[in-house]
Amino acid sequence: MIKKRAVFPFTAIIGQEEMKLALLLNVIDPKIGGVIIMGDRGTGKSTTVRALTDLLPEIEVVAGDPFGSHPTDADLQSEEVRQRLMRGEHVAITSRQVTMVDLPLGATEDRVCGTIDIEKALSEGVKAFEPGLLAKANRGILYIDEVNLLDDHLVDVLLDSAASGWNTVEREGISIRHPARFVLVGSGNPEEGELRPQLLDRFGMYAEIRTVKKPELRVQIVEQRTDFDQNPQEFLSTCLDSQVELQAQIVRAQTLLSSVSISPEYRLNISQICADLDVDGLRGDIVTNRAAKAIAALEGHQEVTVDDIRRVIPLCLRHRLRKDPLESIDSGYKVQKTFNQVFGIVEE
């Protein structure tokens, strides 16, 4: 039996609360549209994403299916599994860890989307499909490090799949379609180039992270990492209770999400903020409403509060603001200021 590689625990990560919150909310409601994490090198972006994947509960999948099809949800099933179920066939079910797929910068479109073997299709009359990374990422997390260096065409393909939940491959008149529901997570360093505004807007959330400045916290982070590297299993055992507790909280939030409501007044206020900030389109309104419901579910209540909206709105809107080309993305100050004005909150 292959021994599973130890992953640094999510609950032990110090600081970077904004990034951790954005990731958790996208796991609770993948329809938020993913998150882009931008910040300094060596701030734990990749570590945090891997830690989240390790934290998530196992999911049920159809055994032997390359797309990780859901046993009962037709929207998360491949065509072959759906046909088998319609014929009344029995399909074996197994459990597996949520997958995290790393997208290499040099990946080709065929590697990402999959390829059709035309020769086999013509000679044998079958749709011979070689699944790509999108198939592997279905019902999991697709992670792109240095997303700002990825070819724009590939980013378009990924964002289209993430938005529709499906991947379609067409070649020589043959078309293959399979489910591709995943949480899209991109990370990068703004010094190495910004993403185009059109692409930025397609990501649901934008988390900004900075290097920890407090010497005490820096020492604590170094000590933790040293302890983990020296004896991973012992370190993991000290975090087991908090990991199990957070995992249970995520499961409860996923179950509760559909029953969370947001008052018409708050919905109107969110749209007022988007209008006052001159946000193009309605994606900002939609994502903020979804994120507010997700954080309410995470906190265990069925009614969205003003504080829920306050915590998520900078994440949802800061990358959608019109800005001077020479400015970097606003850290959220403009969004917070407008939020206070619309909700009638007096700044202290």
The 10s digit of each residue's pLDDT in 311-346 is 999 999 998 887 655 555 566 788 989 999 998 887
The structural domains of the chain, with segments of one domain joined by +, span 10-58+97-209, 258-340
pLDDT of residue 2: 41
| CATH 3.40.30.10 is right for the domain spanning 10-58+97-209 | no
Residue 340 tokens read as 């206070």
Rounded Cα–Cα distance for residues 101 and 82 (Å): 25
Rounded Cα–Cα distance for residues 194 and 101 (Å): 23
Write down the pTM of the prediction.
0.89
pLDDT of residue 327: 57
Per annotation, catalytic residue among 283, 290, 311, 318: 283
What tens digit of pLDDT does each residue of 168-208 get?
887 777 778 888 888 889 888 877 777 777 778 788 999 98
Residues whose CB is less than 8 angstroms from the CB of residue 11 and which lie 6 or more positions away in sequence, other chains included: 55, 239, 242, 243, 246
Question: DSSP per residue over 265-300, as a string?
Answer: HHHHHHHHHHHHTT--SSHHHHHHHHHHHHHHHHHT
CA angle 336, 327, 15 (to 5 degrees): 55
Average pLDDT in the chain: 85
Comparing CA positions, the residue from 293, 240, 245 lying closest to residue 28 is: 293
Q: Which fold has domain 258-340?
A: Helicase, Ruva Protein; domain 3 (1.10.8)
210 is catalytic: no
Residue 282 tokens read as 């309605």
pLDDT of residue 1: 37
